[in-house]
Amino acid sequence: MFLEKNNKIVKKGWIEVVCGSMFSGKTEELIRRMKRAKIAKQKVEIFKPKIDTRYSEEQVVSHDENAIMSTPVDSPRTILLLANDVEVVGIDEAQFFDDGLVEVCNVLANRGIRVIVAGLDMDFRGNPFGPIPKLMATAEYVTKVHAICVKCGDLAHHSHRLSESDKLVVLGELDIYEPICRDCFQKAIGK
């Protein structure tokens, strides 16, 4: 969006967060929004954490195998260096970045850039995950998407880990995680 200020056109930026459990369509929604921006002839750049190599090293890929080219980065700060002359920045798997991502997104939005962030809002234990909660608090728009519980068919918002690993970050798909609802999650963790 553009505003006129003192006879000068000023770009207005903002932050959008798409969050939810695994298999809820977060990446699918990010790809959809980025493709629409491209159709609108906006200059876009998409970033993802370098550690996320599940489907592709250079593409953001949804579980439904929709894909869009991206730039893998080690740090949110790198996004600031690479996001030049763009109107829309997309960031996938944002939970894998540190809290510096919040500042980076705000700097970009303050520069007049639309920032679209997708990521898990909770870890496998059901706790807030990485910078997503802080991004949700500072974002202009938040979309929470849900998967379907594989146990009972209700809306799922937990990413239940099937493996015994206690590490916070374990990359995996349906072989390691399943989407489940609150009730089934409580039963699964023995509460």
Residues annotated as catalytic are 93
Residue in 85, 87, 77 with CA at minimum distance from that of residue 113:
87
CA geometry: angle 45, 64, 51, nearest 5 deg: 50
3-class SS string, 112-135:
CCEEEEEEECECCCCCECCCHHHH
Q: How far is it, in rounded angstroms, from Cα 155 to Cα 147?
A: 6
State the pairing for strand pair 8-11/2-5: antiparallel
Separate counts of helices (H) and strands (E) for the chain: 5, 14
Cβ atoms of 110 and 77 closer than 8 Å: no
Only one residue has tokens 């798909």, namely 173
